Amino acid sequence: MDIEQIADLIKKVVSIPRYYLVGLTRSGYIVFNSTQEGVFKLYSIEPGTGRIRSLVDEPIYMIVRTSRNSDVVLYTVDVSRGYEMVSVCGVDAVSGRKFTLSEGVKPHRIVGLGYDGIRVAWSGSVGSRAFIYMSKVSNGVTEPIVEISGREAVSDVSEKYIAGSGHLKGDPFTTELFIINIATREMRVYTPREGSVNRHPKLFRSKVLFESNFEDLDRFKLYVYDIEAGEISKVETKHTDLKRFDPVEYVNFGWTADGRIWAIGKKHGSSKLFIDGAEVRTPEGMILSADIGEDYAYVTHTSMRDPARMLKVDLRSSRYETIIGVDVPREIAESLRDVLYVEVESEGGVRVPTYVLISSKAPLPGPTIAYPHGGPWSEVSNAWTPLLALLVSLGYHVVAPNFRGSTGYGERFRKLDLGDPGGGDLADLVNAVEWAVRAGVADRERLAVFGYSYGGYLSFMAMVKYPEMWKCGIAGAGVTDWNEDYELADAFFKRYDEILFAGKKELFTDRSPITYIDRVKSPICIIHPQNDSRCPLRPIMKFAYKLMELERTFELHVIPDIGHAISLDSNAMAKYLLYSTVFLNTHLSHKHEKTHER
C-alpha cells in the first residue's frame, strides 16, 4: 500500500466524529461534546426545535456533568499548550454567556470535579502541592478548602458537603471515601472495611451513593452511606435485572430527581444501563454515559463497529432512536471480519481476557499488531477505537489483551500489577501474542508491538525484554526512565508512580526501558507530544540519543504544541497515525529480514 492510500484511510478514520452525552440542563437542553469540528468542543440541542448550537469557540479539555438545577454548563480549558494546566469555565446554554469560575488561582492540573448547579468543587495540583477548591457560579471566586496529598478526586458537591475518593491512608491497594463539611472544613475519611476499595461517591441530601468491593474485596456493588446517621446499607432496587446481570464494576451511577438510583454496570467489556434495577434496552456494546428524564433515558453508546453516538430511549416501549451519530465508511466497516474474545493463560495461572480483531484484508496467519492499552488502569472493551479500526483497515490483525492491572475484571485482577509494572503485564502481552500464533492468526515472522501512554511504556519494554520477537515496534507517549519521570512529575503524578510501584522506588531502575536499551534489535518508531506533562519528553530524547549512539534503526517524531491527550485534536491524531502506519508499512507489511544490531 502506498502513502497516498494510507493517508486516505487515515483521513476517513480521523474524520469520523465521536459524540459524548454530557447531560440535560434545567431547561431541557441536551449537552454533548464532539470532535465533529476536528477538536473536542461543546454543543447543545435546543428542546422543541432540535437545533444544534456550538456553545464554545475553543477546544475543551474536561467536561463536567450537567445539573438539572441550572442551565450553566461547566468545562475546563487547557491554557498551557498541552501541559494540562487548566481553568474552570462556564457557559449558559440558553443565553450563551461565558465566564470563568477559577478566579484567584493560577491554571493547574485538575483530576476530579463535582457540580450541583450552584457551586463547583474540584481537586487539583499546583507543583508539589494539591488542594480541594470550591467556587460558586454566581461569582466565580475560587477558595482552597483543604490541602490534600495529590491522588484524591472530587466527584460531587452539595450545599453542605464535598465528596470524593482517593488513597487517603497511604495504602496503594486501597481507596477510601472523603466527605468534607463545607461549613467547618472538616474532612472525614470513611471506609466500610480496611483493605477495601471505595470510590465515586454521589450525594443526595445527607446520603452518599458509592461503589465498593468491601464484601469480597473483588467485585464492586453499590451502597448508600448516611452521613448524619453514620450508617451504611446495600442498595436495594425495585427490579432485579441489575442483580441478574451481576456487574463486576460500574462505569457511572447516580440519583434520579426523585431519589431512585440509576447505574451503568459493566462486565466482560460490555455495559448496560439500569434504573431502579430495571434494564434500559440498548444495543450490545458499551454505554459510556447517561442521563435520565421523566419518560426517556439519554445515553452514549459505542461498540467495536460503532463510533460513539447518542441515543434516546423510550422508558415505556424500550424503543430507541439515534439523536446524533454517523455510520462508518463501508471500506472500513468491511475490513473487520471478526472479533474474538478469548482468555489466554499466562504466568502464575492468570487468565488474560483478550480481544482479537481479524482483518478481512490480511491472510491467516498474517501480519499482527500486539496492542497494549494505556492506563494501566483501563481496558480494551467492546468500544470503537480509531487506531484499531485503522490497523484492521490497513490489513493487520490485532491482539489486544487486558493484561493484569486492567479494569473491568475485578479488583484482585487489577491489583496484580501494583508493585510489578513491566513484569507480569508484559508477560501477559507476550503470551497473548503466542496464543495468536498457535491459533493461526498471527504470522510469527511479522509481529509488531504498538502502544500509547502506559501502552507505549510496555512497547518499549517489549522491545528490550523480548528483542527477538518483534519485526518492529511503535511507542507513543511512553516512559523510558521512571527515575527521571518521577523527578519531573507534579504532586498528582508523583503519587501515581508511588501507587503503581506500591512504594517500591527501588524498582524504578529495573523497570525502566533505558536500563536495557542495548538489547534493542528491531526498528523502533517513537512518537511523543512536545508538551506532555504526564510522560515528559526529556527522558525520551535521551533514549533516542542513546539509540543513535548504539547505531540502532529508529524514527523519532515529536508532535508540536500538544500534550498527552492527542485524541482531543484530529490534526495531532492524524500525524500520530501517519507516522506510525507508514513505519509499519515499511517494516511489517512485507517479509524481509529483521534489522539486527551491529
Backbone angles phi, psi at 174, to 5 degrees: -135, 155
Query: Cell 465533529 belongs to which residue?
Result: 36
β-strands 249-255, 231-234 pairing: unpaired
* CA 393 – CA 356 distance, rounded (Å): 14
All structural domains of the chain, each given as residue ranges with its CATH number in brackets, are 330-587 (3.40.50.1820)
CA distance 101 to 120: 8
Burial class from Cβ neighbours inside 10 Å (0-12, 13-18, 19+) for residue 318 reads exposed
d(CA 136, CA 461): 47
Q: Which three cell numbers stand for residue 379?
A: 481496558
**Residues in CB range of 424: below 8 A, 6 or more apart:** 346, 347, 348, 350, 403, 404, 416, 417
Residue corresponding to grid cell 518499549: 460
Closest by CA position to 409, among listed 431, 376, 384, 379: 379
Secondary element (H or E) of residue 428: helix 424-438
Q: Name residue 90's beta-bridge partners.
A: 74, 99
Look up the pTM and report it: 0.95
Rounded alpha-carbon distances, angstroms, from residue 410 to 247, 252, 278, 346, 454: 10, 16, 23, 17, 20
Query: Tens-of-pLDDT digits for all 598 residues of the chain?
Result: 899 999 999 999 999 999 999 999 999 999 999 999 999 999 999 999 999 999 999 999 999 999 999 999 999 999 999 999 999 999 999 999 999 999 889 999 999 999 999 999 999 998 889 999 999 999 988 999 999 988 899 999 999 999 999 999 989 999 999 999 999 999 999 999 999 999 999 999 999 999 999 999 999 999 999 999 999 999 999 999 999 999 999 999 999 999 999 999 999 999 999 999 999 999 999 999 999 999 999 999 999 999 999 999 999 999 999 999 999 999 999 999 999 999 999 999 999 999 999 999 999 999 999 999 999 999 999 999 999 999 999 999 999 999 999 999 999 999 999 999 999 999 999 999 999 999 999 999 999 999 999 999 999 999 999 999 999 999 999 999 999 999 999 999 999 999 999 999 999 999 999 999 999 999 999 999 999 999 999 999 999 999 999 999 999 999 999 999 999 899 999 999 999 999 999 999 765 444 333 3
| Torsion angle defined by CA atoms of residues 580, 584, 585 and 586, in that order, rounded to the nearest 10 degrees | 110
> Which string of DSSP letters, residue by residue, matches 325-359?
--PPPHHHHTTEEEEEEEEEE-GGG-EEEEEEEEE
